[in-house]
Structure 1
Amino acid sequence: MAVDVPFFSIIVPTFNVEPFIEETLRSLFDLKGCTYEVLVIDDNSTDGTLAIVNALTANHPQFHVLQSNQNLGVAAARNLGIKECRGQWISFLDGDDIALSNFLSSRLEVIEKKDAVDFIASDFYLWWDSAQKLELASDNIPTWNTAISLFTGDLFFVDSPSRLFIDHTCIVQTGAATIRKDLLAKVGLFSTDLKTNEDTHLWHRAARRSELFAFVKSPNHLYRQRPHSLSNTDRGKHGDSPKMFLMLANDPLFEADKAHFKSRALSHSLQNTYYYRESGQRLRAIRSAFTALTISPIEAVVLKNLLASLLGLR
């Protein structure tokens, strides 16, 4: 008997999200307009997350649950989902976020308009659930607003998205990303060498190989803001972005943009160092200052920054 292949695969990595996972999964139960599967990848949770997932999905055959026997991080969890999924298109949703009713239908409309599209993103809501507060990301993030304002209408297409991402900003948030599986096969998976910014690294690479990128101005999900989530941990102002930009600078795909990415890496290293110095994290400040030194060993601002970090100045 033939097995129906879902058009979309939604990958949901989970790790210790017991208070949130039920609401997340329920938002994916009855998405309309297309066939889809949901792969929940539990990254060795130590709370009740997995038990809730198994109980909720038992009677929903489009849900598949995979469990890692060790905590490998969100990049590895997503990569496992990518390797196991069957859909032609892949979307992502974190285990504490909420899909809106148009989570997939807004993508299907784009695909039906343009056969050549292989990479889709959209706006999304920043969500502070404790305060019942929603903010449109493009209103909250100035660089997003600038990039999106270059285009008119509720939907726009870009045939060279890499240039847009480099000259302005990467207007892709992972929960708002949908990508053709064939394109991921060309550019590879999420880097497990990065604790944060692994998504931006992949989206830059995907943009460089994309034939047609689409941006939908209607938001597709709620991105929960939690003070202790990975994206809000004490990893400096820009997390692993200096390392991520150096990886792009050394990537053969971006040979022509090497200087640009090195400049971004240096800028973010310095900002991380200032953050650590001001918050009294001397050892982290020193490590970050040395990172800046490896990028640009002769710039006066880099040397001054290193000296201030060694002396514990704020």
Structure 2
Amino acid sequence: MQTHSDNAVFVAVPSYNHERFVEECLRSIFRQTLPPAKLLVIDDGSRDDSVAVIERVLKDAPFSAEFISRENRGLSATLNEAVSYADRKYFAYIGSDDIWLPNFLEAQVRLLEERENAALAFSHVFVIDENGDIFDRTDNWTAFADGNMLPTLMTGGIFSSPGVVYRRDVLGEKPWNEDSKLEDYELYLRLAAQHEFARNEQVLAAWRQHGRNTSDDFGLMVDEWLAAQERSRGLLPFSDEEIAEFQTKLRYAAARHFNRTGNRSRAAKAMWANRKGATSLAEQALDAVRIAAPRRLFNAQRARRRASARSRYGNIRELL
């Protein structure tokens, strides 16, 4: 096990109604090759048995760990509370249903030590189901910029939060907007407007998708992306015309997702209204064909892809 002289990472786990998953999350932190200086778990008013599970598991913590259980205040408020306790060089949080691979903190801290101008380090992640089976990885379907991440963010290219480690000093006192419906995007915009982001090519974490994920509502997510851009407009180094162009591209890209999730009507309307966001007429034509294709063909293809991924990647527990 490697150690850094300043043992530099403060880790937070915001917990809410994940009694089935929180033990696996916490034990993935215990397994880190670079242990955190301190772990803080805040239960945000869970109505299941999460509190009892957390209290039991934290008895096995191989480093300093603290637990706060209180009424529900929302994720952004919970993250702001956690960061107010953070007194180390780096800060990282992980949702109570997600998982870090054992070298996550070590790899991200090493990258940040090499990239002194980076506000954060991020990585690609596996996508897992409620049983821990890997059915995708984010580098299969998206690419992220290294350094200047702002244009990518403006068109909806957003990395998953389990793969992120922040420099504590760039976060300030209350970095998360507690009125925002999505906790991370607006913060990413503000940080990217002033700092570079460091991309780690490794897949270092697992993001769990299951029936309780609020991010399943993609329409809400798109609306919040656009609202966050408007709230951040004064900080962005773009003209009004450039922001409008980014937003057209974002809406066009979102239309593809609406089609993938079966909302053909919304997909068709969004693609037509934002057709200038396509890179070419050929792209528009291909997207139109996809909308017109029978839904059963799409569902069959998706099922085949997921089955192939499970066969190829296995279960996340095999990597821990």
User: 1:97, 1:222 within 8 Å by CA — same for their partners in 2?
Assistant: yes
Amino acid at match of 1:254: L
User: In the alignment, does 2:227 pair up with 1:246?
Assistant: yes
Q: What whole-Å deviation, never above 9, does each CA across 1:57-94 have from its counterpart, x for those lacking one?
A: 1353422112232x222111111111112221111211
| Aligned counterpart, 2:215 | 231
User: 1:249, 1:262 within 8 Å by CA — same for their partners in 2?
Assistant: no
- Aligned counterpart in structure 1 of residue 160 of structure 2, from 173, 181, 200: 173
Q: Structure 1 segments of 4 or more deviating over 6 A?
A: none
Q: What whole-Å deviation, never above 9, does each CA across 1:187-242 have from its counterpart, x for those lacking one?
A: x512222223x3122111111121x321011111111110222112xx4x331432
Q: What whole-Å deviation, never above 9, does each CA across 1:258-296 have from its counterpart, x for those lacking one?
A: 445456667649969x89xx87xxxxx9xxx9xx9xxxx
TM-score, normalised to structure 1's length? 0.71
User: 2:115, 2:198 within 8 Å by CA — same for their partners in 1?
Assistant: no
Structural RMSD (CA)? 3.2
Structure 1 stretches lacking a partner, 5+ long: 149-156, 280-284, 293-314
User: 1:12, 1:92 within 8 Å by CA — same for their partners in 2?
Assistant: yes
Identity percentage over the alignment? 20
Separation in 2 of the partners of 1:92 and 1:259?
Answer: 36
TM-score, normalised to structure 2's length? 0.70
- Aligned counterpart in structure 2 of residue 204 of structure 1, from 178, 189, 193: 189
Separation in 2 of the partners of 1:29 and 1:221?
Answer: 14
| Aligned counterpart, 1:306 | none
Q: What whole-Å deviation, never above 9, does each CA across 1:3-42 have from its counterpart, x for those lacking one?
A: x974111221111101111111111113123543221111
User: 2:163, 2:205 within 8 Å by CA — same for their partners in 1?
Assistant: yes
Structure 2 stretches lacking a partner, 5+ long: 274-320
Count of equivalent residues: 257
- Aligned counterpart in structure 1 of residue 149 of structure 2, from 161, 171, 183: 161
User: 2:124, 2:200 within 8 Å by CA — same for their partners in 1?
Assistant: yes
Offset, 1:51 = 1.2
Secondary structure, in 3 states, of the residue corresponding to 1:124?
Answer: strand
User: In the alignment, does 2:16 pair up with 1:15?
Assistant: yes
Separation in 2 of the partners of 1:115 and 1:131?
Answer: 35
Separation in 1 of the partners of 2:228 and 2:134?
Answer: 36
User: 2:15, 2:44 within 8 Å by CA — same for their partners in 1?
Assistant: yes
| Aligned counterpart, 2:79 | 78
User: 1:40, 1:65 within 8 Å by CA — same for their partners in 2?
Assistant: yes
Q: What whole-Å deviation, never above 9, does each CA across 1:98-148 have from its counterpart, x for those lacking one?
A: 110111011122133233333111111011243723422110x3xx23x45
Task: Identify if the C-alpha distance between structure 1 residues 258 and 55 changes in structure 2 by more than 3 Å, giving closer, same or farther.
Answer: farther
Separation in 2 of the partners of 1:257 and 1:223?
Answer: 35
User: 1:118, 1:183 within 8 Å by CA — same for their partners in 2?
Assistant: yes
Secondary structure, in 3 states, of the residue corresponding to 1:54?
Answer: helix
